[in-house]
């Protein structure tokens, strides 16, 4: 199997070179995303092997990077432009290209010079960029900026080309999908659609997501009952509704802990309740991830992967999106079908949302 996969990867790279030689010295990203990618995608499915898919995607990433470096003068951002990226995504830029990382972690590689314009200093190749600093690619240099965090938002200007990784989970696409389904909204942050995927989620944010996944947001917004919690600064109707319905009882001393961060176990408990597998005050929260894996809501690999990483809003998005296809506790239907019947979104919207997200999963 491994020889077969390596042979496929070699064939992929050779085919890229052959295409370039036959048609144009510059291999465009549109070609990679079109006929070239499609021609090899079916071969990966034939492998039926996660290792095979990983090797293939790695080869595709390298091919995409080569194409990006070759085609930087085909794309020009004449003014500062924003992009939301995922881990492994690369943007290449020649002399005069400027990039400002707004969130997440980005490194830069080059043979020449790149200047931190904000500090007025020249940086070393391989450096991690400082957020909110503007970087300028100097004379006779081609620089590649690589996202090393799970998500990032950058602002860029000048000639450039992107190489999108085929190997990593696209949390941004999942957030776009959930927004299309009326299940996820951005904040007032002025970048990245306000998704704030690099931030830790709060208990209040988790509660709002829980009510949306239940399909009861309209009822929560219309709730006029007094809020029983003393530490709520926004979303009072959500908290009052959740208390009235018995979804959340707080800490028992008048506090909900609205601003406290929520971990994967706590958020998964909310999702299990939305699907009828758990109730407030009944189950041990510490077993939520294990129960979710046993029930098939997530895979064992996803459970282990999420346990090994910081729990950010990106993981809230991931678990919410993957849970949509989980079967409800009564075995009657999926969570997404229930939300369609509740009028939260339509089947057409669900189809469009699925089209946004790749099949790459954690674990």
CA gap 211, 272 in Å, rounded = 12
- Distance from C-alpha of 317 to C-alpha of 92, rounded to nearest angstrom: 28
Q: Terminus-to-terminus CA distance in the chain, angstroms? A: 20
pTM for the complete prediction? 0.81
> In order of start, what are the domains of the chain with their CATH numbers?
2-70 (no CATH), 72-163 (2.60.120.10), 171-356 (no CATH)
Measured distance CA(108)–CA(278) in Å, rounded: 47
Mean pLDDT of the chain: 84
Strand order in the sheet with 98-103: 76-86, 151-159, 98-103, 135-137, 114-116, 121-123
CA-to-CA distance for 303 and 295, rounded, in angstroms? 12
| Alpha-carbon gap, residue 273 to 285, rounded angstroms | 11
pLDDT tens profile 224-270:
998 888 888 888 999 999 888 888 777 778 888 888 999 999 999 98
In whole angstroms, how far apart are CA 330 and each of 178, 270, 323, 335, 338?
24, 17, 15, 11, 12
Which one, of 287, 250, 147, 259, lies nearest residue 199 by Cα? Answer: 259
pLDDT at 50 over 80: no
- What is the 8-class DSSP label of residue 207? H
- State residue 159's pLDDT score: 97
Residue 177: name the closest of 50, 362, 323, 332 by CA: 323
Return the pLDDT at 279: 76
Q: What is the spatial distance between Cα 114 and Cα 99, in angstroms, rounded to a whole number?
A: 10
Residue 210: what pLDDT? 85
270-290 confidence digits (pLDDT tens): 899 889 888 766 557 788 999
29 dihedral zone (left: phi>0; alpha: psi -120 to 50; beta): alpha
| pLDDT-derived band at 27, boundaries 50, 70, 90 | very low
């Amino acid at each position: 199997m491994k020889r077969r996969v390596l042979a496929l990867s070699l064939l992929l790279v050779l085919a890229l070179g052959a295409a370039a030689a036959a048609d144009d010295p510059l291999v465009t990203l549109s070609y990679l995303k079109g006929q070239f990618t499609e021609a090899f995608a079916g071969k990966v499915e034939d492998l039926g092997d996660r290792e095979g898919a990983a090797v293939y995607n790695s080869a595709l990433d390298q091919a995409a990077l080569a194409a990006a470096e070759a085609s930087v003068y085909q794309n020009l951002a004449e003014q500062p432009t924003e992009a939301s990226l995922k881990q492994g995504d690369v943007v290449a830029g020649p002399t005069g290209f400027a990039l400002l990382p707004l969130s997440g972690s980005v490194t830069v590689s080059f043979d020449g010079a790149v200047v931190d314009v904000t500090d007025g200093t020249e940086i070393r190749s391989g450096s991690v960029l400082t957020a909110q600093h503007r970087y300028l690619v100097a004379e006779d240099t081609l620089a590649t900026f690589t996202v090393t965090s799970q998500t990032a938002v950058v602002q860029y200007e000048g000639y450039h080309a992107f190489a999108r990784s085929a190997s990593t989970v696209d949390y941004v696409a999942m957030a776009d999908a959930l927004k299309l389904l009326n299940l996820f909204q951005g904040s007032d942050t002025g970048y990245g659609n306000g998704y704030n995927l690099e931030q830790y989620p709060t208990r209040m944010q988790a509660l709002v997501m829980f009510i949306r996944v239940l399909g009861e947001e309209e009822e929560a917004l219309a709730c006029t009952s007094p809020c029983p919690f003393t530490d709520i600064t926004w979303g009072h109707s959500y908290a009052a509704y959740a208390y009235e319905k018995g979804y959340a009882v707080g800490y028992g001393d008048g506090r909900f802990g609205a601003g406290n961060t929520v971990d994967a176990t706590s958020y998964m408990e909310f999702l299990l309740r939305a699907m009828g597998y758990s109730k407030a005050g009944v189950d041990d929260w510490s077993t939520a991830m294990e129960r979710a894996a046993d029930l098939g809501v997530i895979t064992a690999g996803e459970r282990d992967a999420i346990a090994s990483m910081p729990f950010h809003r990106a993981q809230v998005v991931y678990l919410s999106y993957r849970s949509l296809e989980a079967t409800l506790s009564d075995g009657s239907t999926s969570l997404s079908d229930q939300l369609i019947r509740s009028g939260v979104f339509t089947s057409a919207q669900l189809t469009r949302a699925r089209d946004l997200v790749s099949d790459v999963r954690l674990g």
